Amino acid sequence: MKILLVCGGGASSGFLCQKMRMSAKQQGIDASVDAISETELEDCLDDVNVVLFGPHLRYMEKELEEILNPEGIPFEFIPEQYYATLDGEKTLEYAKQMIDK
């Protein structure tokens, strides 16, 4: 599974990304998790199963729909409690639920 995390500058999502990778490894899940800034989004969609955005990017929801809906890629905003605590395990589970829908 390929998961893309997106935030403003990529720093916060980078830390969360590392924790998600560790959680996937511990659970024996084959997952690729990458963190990017929103300016890179359109260039990074190849083979992506789900895109998760930092909660602070909610103001961009319409723009994100225009980019991702035609590609058929599900997306959601990371729950604030997961993002604020950099909870890789819960964020990974959240991503898996999005893919399984």
The residues carrying an active-site annotation are 7
**Contact partners, residue 93, CB within 8 Å, separation at least 6:** none
In this structure, the number of other CB atoms found within 10 A of the CB of residue 32 comes to: 13
The β-bridge relationship of strands 50-53 and 32-37 is: unpaired
Tokens at 87, concatenated: 């909870």
- Angle between helices 11-27 and 88-100 in degrees, nearest 10: 80
